[in-house]
């Protein structure tokens, strides 16, 4: 079950993951569901080894959106991204993924290789969502199609943040077709 491409319409904001630069943040959409991560043997074993519960986590990010319930910690996206939008969240804060819904990260996770994951409970986190250059490299390499990159989802991000400018959106809309 890949990421729901319509997640900003079908789901709600359930969290706000801040960047500790004090400016940037990404939303978390949910409620989440049971998907690829809950069916993957390596992921299940890793949760068991840590004594953590495998619970629905939702989608991190809006323009660069990664469904953590579909993420199996493959890491292809982390290696593919030319501008290091992603980090392994556990390499910075080694806590259960559910605690990342409302928190702040500094983006200091260092290892950007696939093998840099702490273990298979780790998730790829779009901590530098704002740096995305829309190359789509991460989308095509993800084995579970957990990623949706869509620049036009900025509207949903701005609506959720209360910064969406209705007037500006109207004035920049294309003119009606002239006959
Ligand atoms: S679309 Fe390109 S720049 Fe944006 S997160 Fe994916 S790999 Fe990185």
Q: Is residue 172 part of a domain?
A: no
User: How many domains, in total, are found in the chain?
Assistant: 1
Q: Is the pTM of this model over 0.95?
A: no
**82-127 residue pLDDT tens:** 999 999 999 999 999 999 999 999 999 878 899 999 999 999 999 9
- Ligand 1 site, residue 142, Cβ cutoff 6 A: no
CA dihedral 135, 136, 140, 143 (to 10 degrees): 120
pLDDT value at residue 99: 96
pLDDT of residue 156: 96
pLDDT value at 176 more than 70: no
What share of the chain in percent tops pLDDT 70?
96
Measured from the CB, is residue 106 less than 6 Å from ligand 1?
no
**CATH number, domain with residue 76:** 3.30.70.20
Which residue lies with its CA nearest to atom 8 of ligand 1? 81
- Whether residue 173 lies inside any domain: the answer is no
Query: Which tens digit of pLDDT belongs to each residue from 26-85?
Result: 999 999 999 999 999 999 999 999 999 999 999 999 999 999 999 999 999 999 999 999
Question: Is residue 133 assigned to a domain?
Answer: yes
Decide: 72 and 43 in contact? Cβ < 8 Å: yes
The C-alpha atoms of residue 130 and residue 77 are separated, in whole angstroms, by 16
- Any domain includes 141: yes
First and final C-alpha spacing in the chain = 45
Residue 173's pLDDT is what? 67
Residue 1 domain-assigned? Answer: no
| 118: in domain | yes
Task: Choose which residue among 24, 64, 78, 146 to substitute to test ligand 1 binding: the one with the highest number of ligand atoms within 8 A of its C-beta.
Answer: 64
Does residue 178 sit within a domain? no
Residue 62: give the domain boundaries: 7-166
Residue 125 placed within a domain: yes
């Amino acid at each position: 079950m890949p990421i729901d491409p319509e997640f900003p319409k079908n789901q709600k904001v359930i969290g706000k993951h801040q960047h500790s630069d004090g400016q940037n943040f990404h939303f978390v959409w949910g409620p989440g569901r049971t998907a690829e991560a809950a069916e993957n043997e390596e992921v299940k074993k890793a949760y068991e080894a840590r004594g953590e519960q495998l619970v629905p986590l939702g989608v991190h990010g809006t323009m660069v959106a990664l469904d953590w319930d579909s993420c199996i910690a493959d890491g292809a996206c982390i290696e593919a991204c030319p501008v290091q939008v992603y980090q392994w969240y556990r390499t910075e804060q080694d806590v259960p993924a559910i605690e990342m819904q409302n928190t702040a990260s500094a983006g200091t996770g260092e290892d950007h290789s696939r093998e840099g994951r702490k273990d298979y409970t780790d998730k790829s986190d779009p901590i530098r969502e704002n740096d995305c250059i829309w190359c789509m490299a991460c989308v095509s390499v993800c084995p579970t199609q957990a990623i949706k990159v869509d620049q036009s989802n900025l509207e949903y991000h701005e609506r959720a943040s209360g910064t969406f400018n209705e007037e500006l959106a109207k004035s920049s809309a294309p003119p009606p077709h002239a006959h």
